[in-house]
Structure 1
Amino acid sequence: MFHKEGYKIMAVAMILLIIVNLAAYTFIFTEWIRLVILIGTLILFFLIIQFFRNPKRDTVFNESHVVAPVDGKVVVIEEVYEKEYFKDQRLMISVFMSPINVHVTRHPISGVVKYSKYHPGKYLVAWHPKASEENERTTVVVENEVAGEVMYRQIAGALAKRIVNYAEVGAEVVQGSDSGFIKFGSRVDVYLPVGTPLKVKLNQKVKGGLSVIADLP
């Protein structure tokens, strides 16, 4: 199963790679060079389609649980001052996605979207300390009666040139459902109240919609 954001890119890539191979078989008469081009283009196409895969995730719904919004590795757990929405100290958990991870962003809790805003910006590497404030990004806050307000931020990286965000203010969303997509590698930060009991630790790998990263009392 592939994400809808990838259909156009995969179709264009397929057409271009077919043209490359047709040209190779028309103008190149050395068999082993033709074979190298064929294998190379097949590998490239495989890498492109795997990037847009969208596996089904059977989220176990729990209003007090915060699930990982994306696949990747936990690279930061620290208290920070969140100045865009909460304007106070928050516990930030950052999940970094490599190019081989699934890049679907999922809602970490069920509830109502209270805030959703896009910010243009730079394309610093995703792990740069200032990436969460200076890079292109979208910020979303979802609220329910048990968990309260949970904020997550999609952050573009050096390779990610487009962030897709489906969250609309006032919409009711379901935990683990599709919230957006980041094209070609980046990270997502989750902001929770200070003192929230966490279920993850640094360098732990998580799966979006499945791994519980925190249990809000």
Structure 2
Amino acid sequence: MAQSPAVPGPGTSGAALIGERAARSLTAEFARHQGPKTGLVVGVSADSAVLAAALDGLLPGDSLTLVPAGPADAADLRAHVTAQGQFVAERVRVLDSLSEAEPADVVVAAQPYTGTAEDTRGALDGLVKYLAEGAVFTAAVPARPGGTAGAAAELDRQAVLFGVGTDLVLRNRPPVRVHRLRFTPAAVGTAARLAPAYRPSSVPLSRTMHIDSNGVVAGGIALGLAALARLSRPKSRLWLVPALAAPAVAAFFRDPERDVPEDPDAVVAAADGQVLSVQRLPDERFGAGEFLRIAVFLSVLDVHVNRSPVAGKVADYFVADGGFAAAMRPDAEHNVAAYTVLDTDRGTVVVAQRTGLIARRIVQRAPIGALLARGERFGLIRFGSRTDVYLPADAAEPLVGPGDKVIGGSSVIARWR
């Protein structure tokens, strides 16, 4: 892959291409902004999947700037943009060089980084001045061992410092890891203008049903055990146990699409399940005053993907030690729990992911500084568990009670006053 003037000094250590699925991940931050926004895609060509994905995210009031992968690509890019029709042509401009660009809300590197760590740092330094306040920069690196000469390690380091999201896209040649970096803080109110983020790590079964990547791994382990049992004891039918368990294990991690209410005053359920309790209580860990806590029990038959009940910015995340009591019992309040603290325009909102008697693994994918749309996936809990939502008590009115069944991301559990 030739070096691109659009991405200063990424270096090269082997061919790496961006396919449709990885391109959607790279441009997800641009596509999910519902209000007017600006985008800058660097190192792009007319036949790039990244360009197609970026054009799909265009809305009225948007503007998109393209910097070609090389001088010879500029004419083809302009012709391609013109061929898309008036709507695209009015909102997209093609520059001859990156130096002509202006700061944008979302900056996308269309070509994966494959060079050295030093080259990658230089490339990032060259792009920082094109990021508006609170802007997001997205870039990809090959995820296979030895796929880069240091770029992957450098972007991992940058993600620890500035990361607001990472996706592993296995359905790409080669698989790539997409990093989203934010070098300056974003305004809390921006979250209200976002749609839930696209997640390429799940495997689609249909238009409305996916399997989370954890389910793919768990199902694969079960099938591996079945194969091992079959090889080691060919005359036994013991292999049927893990083989038959594999679909059920994978189904536990199902991740259906949900229709999120458009009402800006609605607070949605963070998970599927049954409401255990609705109560006002103080909690000094989250601030002064009382909180309205709505606790939901998730049985092993419920969907265990967790969603943000409100639009907000992840301000803190911590894990509290505890036991592993059955999640439907009152003393489950003292189980091991992960707390995601959100800053919102209405005050502090907290989601607690609590373990249960069987659930011992909590997955949380929203780093501090990330913006979450209402109803956006941010993690999951393996097997039976409990999810609590804490709202400022004087600012929210509960709409559910003990015994009610709720659907994560869809059911309205409270309303802002």
CA distance in structure 2 between the partners assigned to 1:131 and 1:20 by the alignment: 37
User: Which secondary structure does the structure 2 equivalent of 1:74 belong to?
Assistant: strand
Distance apart, 1:42 and its partner CA: 4.9
Aligned to 1:31: none
Matched, 1:140 2:340: yes
Task: State the TM-score, normalizing by the size of structure 2.
Answer: 0.46
Aligned to 2:294: 93
Aligned to 2:385: 186
CA distance in structure 2 between the partners assigned to 1:205 and 1:8 by the alignment: 29
Instruction: Supply the RMSD in Å over aligned alpha carbons.
Output: 2.1
Structure 1: segments with no counterpart, 5+ residues: 29-33
CA distance in structure 1 between the partners assigned to 2:392 and 2:229 by the alignment: 53
CA distance in structure 2 between the partners assigned to 1:80 and 1:98 by the alignment: 25
Letter in 1 for 2:405: K
Output one character per residue of 1:127-164: Cα deviation in whole Å (capped at 9) or x when no partner: 332332x321111122332x332211110111111111
What is the aligned residue count?
A: 207
CA distance in structure 1 between the partners assigned to 2:244 and 2:411 by the alignment: 30
CA contact (8 A) 1:73 1:95 kept: yes
Task: State the TM-score, normalizing by the size of structure 1.
Answer: 0.86
Aligned to 2:319: 118
CA distance in structure 1 between the partners assigned to 2:319 and 2:242 by the alignment: 35
Matched, 1:46 2:254: no
Letter in 2 for 1:15: G
CA contact (8 A) 2:219 2:247 kept: no
Matched, 1:162 2:361: yes
Alignment match of 1:9 (pick from 213, 218, 224): 218
Alignment match of 2:351 (pick from 149, 152, 174): 152
Distance apart, 1:22 and its partner CA: 5.4
Taking a change above 3 Å as real, the CA distance of residues 62 and 149 of structure 1, as seen in their structure-2 partners, is farther
Distance apart, 1:37 and its partner CA: 6.8
Alignment match of 2:264 (pick from 35, 38, 63): 63
User: Which secondary structure does the structure 2 equivalent of 1:127 belong to?
Assistant: coil
Higher strand share: 1
Distance apart, 1:19 and its partner CA: 3.4
CA distance in structure 2 between the partners assigned to 1:74 and 1:170 by the alignment: 30
Output one character per residue of 1:33-80: Cα deviation in whole Å (capped at 9) or x when no partner: x4x974x54542232011111111131234321100001000111222
% identical aligned pairs: 33
Letter in 2 for 1:53: R
Letter in 2 for 1:18: A
Between Structure 1 and Structure 2, whose CA radius of gyration is higher? 2
Matched, 1:202 2:402: yes
CA distance in structure 1 between the partners assigned to 2:379 and 2:289 by the alignment: 26
Matched, 1:213 2:413: yes
Structure possessing the higher relative contact order (Cα contacts under 8 Å, 6 or more residues apart): 1
CA contact (8 A) 1:199 1:214 kept: yes
Alignment match of 2:303 (pick from 102, 106, 121): 102
Alignment match of 2:275 (pick from 74, 82, 85): 74
Structure 2: segments with no counterpart, 5+ residues: 1-209
CA distance in structure 2 between the partners assigned to 1:207 and 1:22 by the alignment: 43
Q: Which runs of 4+ in 1 moved over 3 A?
A: 18-24, 40-43
Distance apart, 1:10 and its partner CA: 1.4
